[in-house]
Amino acid sequence: MNLYAIRAIYKFEMARTFRTLLQSVVSPVVSTSLYFVVFGAAIGSRITDVDGVPYGAFIVPGLVMLSLLTQSISNASFGIFFPKFTGTIYEVLSAPVSWLEVVIGYVGAAATKSVGLGLIILATSSLFVPLRVEHPLWMLSFLLLTAVTFCLFGFVLGIWAENFEKLQLVPFLIVTPLVFLGGSFYSIEMLPPFWQTASLFNPVVYLISAFRWSFYGSSDVSVSVSVAMTLVFLSACLLAVRWIFKTGYHLRT
């Protein structure tokens, strides 16, 4: 294991995070606060409790997941896309590092940032609504697992994308709709029967639902199914990265 290489990549990526602190931390916090004002205060005041949880508090896990998913993907994809774009990737490709070391460095740094962001958003939320976390260890585990999984997905996306347009396309057209329709702002029981069934095909529903369970002890779907699905997705992403480095897909000519 080339630990020095992992550390070098990790440090480099974290330095990039701190250089762009305003964009990477402040803006998600501001947008989360806006969600609270709009959904929590303006609309939430007209909605009664959901599963015995006040609406303002009910949307917190969904909001954290919303930011976690989008930020993980955009952060990790940009982290590898940019060196590819500028050409500095040559150094990583010519270094005595395995695919796993590269992934641990890049995805580790991106996930660190995402988890940190998730915690900051949680802290921000607690200023607006009284928070209750029934299973704190599970909550942190879900946070970590989701961050790592979607950073991996972002990493694959960043290698696949040949231009900025493609880099934006997947988050915009696929991830954002899935997240919004994934029950961030509602329980899927509030939907008409057809859409309830349709929602079961949305992987994000499982993530948000399980995460909400760690807070309030109630869930739309089985928590174990949710964990299993996330692990399957994580393994798929890992296999994709391994294949990419083996073949040099979009990395080596």
- Which residues form the interface with another protein (CB under 8 A)? 2, 4-5, 7-9, 11-12, 15-16, 19, 86-88, 90-98, 247-248, 252-253
Asked if 39 and 114 touch (Cβ cutoff 8 Å), the reply is no
Residue 175 in tokens? 């991830």
What is the nearest approach in angstroms of another protein to the Cβ of residue 84?
A: 11
Rounded Cα distance, 67 and 63, in Å? 6
DSSP label at residue 181? T
How far apart are CB 14 and another protein at their closest, in Å? 12
Nearest to residue 142, comparing CAs of 214, 200, 47, 36?
214
Looking up tokens 């009284």, which residue turns up?
130
Shortest Cβ 83–another protein spacing (Å): 8
Closest to 140 measured CA to CA, from 202, 210, 233, 187: 210
Nearest to 69 by CA among 121, 3, 22: 121
- CB of 192: closest distance to another protein in angstroms? 50
- Quote the least distance from Cβ 88 to another protein, whole Å: 5
Instruction: Provide the CB-side half-sphere exposure for 206 (13 A, CA).
Output: 18
d(CA 79, CA 157) in angstroms, rounded, equals 11
Amino acid at 139: M
Query: Which of residues 87 and 193 has its CB atom nearest to another protein in the complex?
Result: 87
Would you say 7 or 135 has its CB closer to another protein?
7
Nearer to another protein, 92 or 223 (CB): 92
Smallest distance, another protein to C-beta of residue 247, A: 8
- Cβ proximity to another protein: between 88 and 168 the closer is 88
Residue among 225 and 251 whose Cβ is closer to another protein: 251
Q: Looking at this protein, which amino acid is placed at residue 135?
A: H
Provide the minimum distance between the beta carbon of 94 and another protein in the complex, in angstroms, as a whole number.
4
| Residue number with CB closer to another protein (110 or 139) | 110
Q: Which is nearer to another protein, 8 or 240 (CB)?
A: 8
Closest of 116, 122, 114, 138 to residue 219, by C-alpha: 138
Residue showing tokens 């954002």: 176
